[in-house]
């Protein structure tokens, strides 16, 4: 019978990790590897590496890494069996049966059930929208707002009738496990027992993930009653702020155009789509989150964020600047004329006028600066306060010319001398960069001349990139030369595997290493370039063997220093050796 492991191997044979990850992260070729901005932590410079040779990924920043399964689990928030099933479906590999530990199995079963219930609910809401034709308040509402049938079916819009027992009755008739349906957030436990509908009298927007599954719903009222939006609560399959609404429908257009237009509401998104702007996502009525931006930057080179011109809208824009700077995604702020949202604007003025607004949008930083300045007073304390607020944002600009330019602008606008702004800025940056430098030194494996002096990493690099040396060095005692404990364990692991199985290829084995630090260490060395070119390998091996010999010798000298007889023996031995 086919085992779990062989299914995994089969998927690895047919799936290409660069292509698989490339769907979600913009990757650029860099030497033998591909690099991109890490989807798992905030960063401005790419430290996320994918190796086609090794079929593995590794982030030198947050240390996440592994094979295609590790990526799938981390990115989509799945258990191993779920990732296995997902990838098996995707690459047409048959899974005979499940072999997962029971806890994981339980969790993934629960999620599978919730997704099924959501799917069934989505179909119920969709039918409720088309039922009754004219006179159906939701259908009339959408029609009045100009939302066409195409969009209704593409986004699977629906209607939750204004009833306490609509979806509840439907699910019961379907023999659904009602406790599970409550867990999915569709129905609510009644105090005296039983259940009632959570969404009543609302247009339903299924929230669909990048794998095409309905993970939750947003419901919007037809009138001005509150709350205007009601979302599925946190469930095992839905996490608020995890990804922007509409990304599943828009990511191709976003990738094609290179820009993502970010709006707040569902209706804003649909209105723009209706007018032919496809590269748009919505934040589900919540503030932008780092997760939103991390998802978007997998497809976009720039974000255009559309804000309302009211106080709350401006505040939201100001708060979003550090998020964009942290994630390294350039962004511009689009502020609509007073009293408008994207929906009302595009419907009244048309798409060309909306595009004009987009084209005129200022970079988020300029917007930030102007807003901060326009709100400040003129006395000295006020000026210093504004400068303090601006420095963190200013210091995050990549480009020195750009920083100097902005420093000049800040100086002009606040009326503080440019030298003063620049020197404040530099001292702010110095404090920060000391931390960064330290991080980089810890994380990266360089390849400079001085690195060739044989140390821990060099030895490990040699073993990994020139497997022929493993045999030669295994019995040399070179393990004693290593001072770093993690490297020492990694080297021991390689020797052990060689002893067990003969010449090893590490690709498949790294996943079996239990010690997380050792796994990370091995991945980093595997993704790093080889330090020694082929013609220097023999020399390096000799040097290591010689060093190991000396180390053995000096260790034994230490041991026998207090034992005159043994010392005498040793001296005789050394004399004999020097003679020949």
Distance separating alpha carbons of residues 343 and 144, to the nearest angstrom: 13
The least distance separating Zn ion from the CB of residue 60, rounded to whole angstroms, comes to 8
47 or 118: CB nearest Zn ion: 47
* 428-431-436 Cα angle (round to 5): 120
Provide the minimum distance between the beta carbon of 354 and Zn ion in the complex, in angstroms, as a whole number: 36
* Distance separating alpha carbons of residues 351 and 349, to the nearest angstrom: 7
Asked if 137 and 198 count as a contact pair (C-beta separation under 8 A), the reply is: no
Contact indicator for 389, 365 with CB cutoff of 8 Å: no
Q: How far is the CB of 49 from Zn ion (least distance, A)?
A: 10
- Binding track, positions 206-235, relative to Zn ion; x by CB under 5 A: ------------------------------
Q: Which two tokens stand for residue 443?
A: 């994380």
- Taking the C-alpha atoms of residue 47 and residue 306, their distance in angstroms, rounded to an integer, is 30
Nearer to Zn ion, 65 or 265 (CB): 65
Distance CA 510, CA 54 (A): 11
Radius of gyration of the chain (CA): 30
The 10 Å CB-count burial string (b at 16+, else e) for 231-259 is bbeebbbbeeebbbbbbbbbbebbbebeb
| Region of 30-38, 164-172, 302-310, 379-387 interacting with Zn ion (CB under 5 A) | 30-38
Please report how close the Cβ of residue 58 comes to Zn ion at its closest, in angstroms: 9
Stretch touching Zn ion by CB under 5 A, among 31-39, 218-226, 397-405, 499-507:
31-39
- Nearest residue (CB) to Zn ion, 41 versus 200: 41
Look at residue 26 and give its three-state secondary structure.
Answer: coil
67 close to 17: Cβ distance less than 8 angstroms: yes
Which residues partner with 50 through β-bridges? 34, 57
Residue 68 or 280 with smaller CB distance to Zn ion = 68
Choices 22-30, 51-59, 275-283, 504-512 (CB under 5 A): range interacting with Zn ion: 51-59
Please report how close the Cβ of residue 457 comes to Zn ion at its closest, in angstroms: 20
By C-beta, is 328 or 330 nearer to Zn ion? 328
Which range of residues in 29-37, 53-61, 270-278, 525-533 is near Zn ion by CB under 5 A? 53-61
Number of residues that bind Zn ion (CB under 5 A): 6
Both structure tokens of 154:
């593409």
Q: Is 38 in the site for Zn ion (CB under 5 A)?
A: yes
Nearest to 358 by CA among 320, 307, 393: 307
**Least CB distance from residue 20 to Zn ion, whole Å?**
17
Least Cβ distance, residue 61 to Zn ion (angstroms): 4
Q: Does 306 bind Zn ion (CB under 5 A)?
A: no
Letters for 507-546 (x = contact with Zn ion by CB under 5 A, - = none) are: ----------------------------------------
Residues 6+ apart with CB under 8 A from 36: 25, 26, 27, 28, 46, 48, 50
Tell the smallest beta-carbon distance from residue 383 to Zn ion (Å). Answer: 38
Question: Which residue's CB is nearer to Zn ion, number 17 or number 369?
Answer: 17
Q: Which is nearer to Zn ion, 38 or 544 (CB)?
A: 38
**Is 328 near Zn ion (CB under 5 A)?**
no
Least Å distance between CB 64 and Zn ion? 5
Contacts of 150 (CB under 8 A, 6+ apart): none
- Cα separation, 307 vs 341, whole angstroms: 8
* Region near Zn ion per CB under 5 A, out of 40-48, 73-81, 150-158, 214-222: 40-48
Token pair 């991080």: residue: 439
CB of 47 to Zn ion, least distance (A): 6
Q: Output the six-digit token pair for 101.
A: 């530990």
What residues between 138 and 157 interact with Zn ion by CB under 5 A? Answer: none
Query: What residues between 58 and 77 interact with Zn ion by CB under 5 A?
Result: 59, 61-62
Could you say which of 10, 40, 200, 322 contacts Zn ion (CB under 5 A)?
40
Q: Which of 10, 16, 22, 41 binds Zn ion (CB under 5 A)?
A: 41
Q: How many CA atoms lie within 13 A of 276 on its CB side?
A: 5
Task: Report the alpha-carbon distance of residue 133 to residue 151 in Å, rounded.
Answer: 17
Q: Under the rule (CB under 5 A), what is the footprint of Zn ion?
A: 38, 40-41, 59, 61-62
């Amino acid at each position: 019978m086919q085992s779990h492991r062989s299914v995994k191997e089969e998927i690895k044979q047919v799936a290409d990790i660069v292509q698989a990850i490339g769907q979600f992260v913009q990757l650029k070729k860099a030497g033998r590897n591909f690099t991109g901005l890490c989807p798992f932590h905030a960063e401005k410079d790419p430290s996320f590496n994918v190796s086609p040779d090794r079929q593995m990924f590794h982030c030198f920043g947050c240390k996440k890494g592994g094979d295609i399964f590790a990526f799938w689990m981390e990115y989509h928030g799945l258990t191993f069996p779920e990732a296995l099933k997902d990838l098996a479906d995707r690459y047409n590999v048959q899974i005979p049966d499940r072999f997962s530990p029971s806890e994981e199995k339980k969790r993934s079963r629960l999620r599978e059930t919730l997704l099924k219930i959501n799917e069934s609910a989505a179909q119920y809401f969709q039918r409720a929208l088309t039922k009754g034709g004219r006179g159906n308040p939701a259908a009339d509402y959408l029609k009045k707002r100009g939302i066409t049938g195409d969009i209704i079916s593409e986004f699977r819009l629906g209607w939750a009738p204004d009833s306490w027992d609509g979806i509840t009755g439907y699910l019961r008739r379907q023999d659904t496990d009602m406790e599970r349906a409550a867990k999915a957030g569709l129905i609510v436990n009644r105090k005296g027992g039983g259940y009632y509908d959570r969404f009543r009298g609302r247009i339903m927007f299924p929230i669909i993930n990048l794998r095409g599954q309905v993970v939750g719903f947003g419901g919007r009222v037809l009138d001005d009653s509150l709350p205007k939006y009601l979302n599925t609560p946190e469930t095992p399959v839905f996490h608020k702020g995890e990804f922007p609404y509409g990304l599943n429908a828009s990511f191709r257009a976003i990738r094609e155009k290179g820009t993502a237009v970010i709006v707040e509401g569902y209706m804003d998104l649909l209105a723009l789509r209706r007018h032919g702007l496809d590269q748009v996502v919505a934040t589900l009525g919540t503030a932008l989150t780092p997760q939103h931006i991390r998802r978007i930057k997998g497809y976009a080179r720039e974000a255009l964020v559309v804000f309302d011109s009211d106080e709350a809208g401006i505040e939201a824009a100001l708060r979003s600047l550090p998020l964009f700077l942290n994630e390294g995604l350039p962004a511009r702020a689009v502020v609509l004329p007073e009293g408008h949202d994207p929906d009302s604007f595009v419907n009244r003025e048309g798409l060309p006028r909306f595009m004009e607004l987009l084209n005129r949008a200022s970079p988020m930083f300029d917007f930030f600066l102007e807003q901060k300045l326009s709100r400040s007073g003129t006395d000295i304390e006020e000026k210093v306060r504004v400068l303090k607020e601006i420095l963190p944002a200013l210091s995050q600009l990549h480009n020195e010319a750009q920083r100097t330019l902005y420093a000049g602008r800040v100086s002009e606008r606040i009326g503080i001398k440019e030298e003063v702004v620049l020197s404040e800025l530099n001292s702010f940056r110095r404090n920060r960069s000391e931390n960064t430098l330290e991080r980089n030194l810890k994380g990266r494996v360089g390849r400079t001349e001085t690195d060739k002096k044989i140390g821990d990493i060099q030895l490990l690099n040699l073993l990994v990139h020139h497997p022929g040396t493993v045999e030669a060095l295994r019995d040399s005692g070179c393990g004693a030369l290593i001072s770093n404990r993690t490297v020492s364990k990694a080297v021991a692991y390689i020797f052990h595997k060689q002893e067990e199985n003969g010449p090893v290829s590490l690709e498949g084995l790294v996943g079996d290493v239990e010690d997380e630090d050792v796994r990370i260490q091995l991945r980093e060395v595997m993704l790093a370039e080889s330090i020694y070119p082929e013609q220097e390998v023999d020399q390096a091996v000799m040097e290591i063997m010689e060093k190991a010999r000396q180390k053995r010798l000096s260790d034994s000298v230490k041991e026998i220093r207090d034992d005159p007889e043994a010392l005498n023996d040793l001296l005789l031995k050394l004399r004999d050796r020097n003679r020949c």
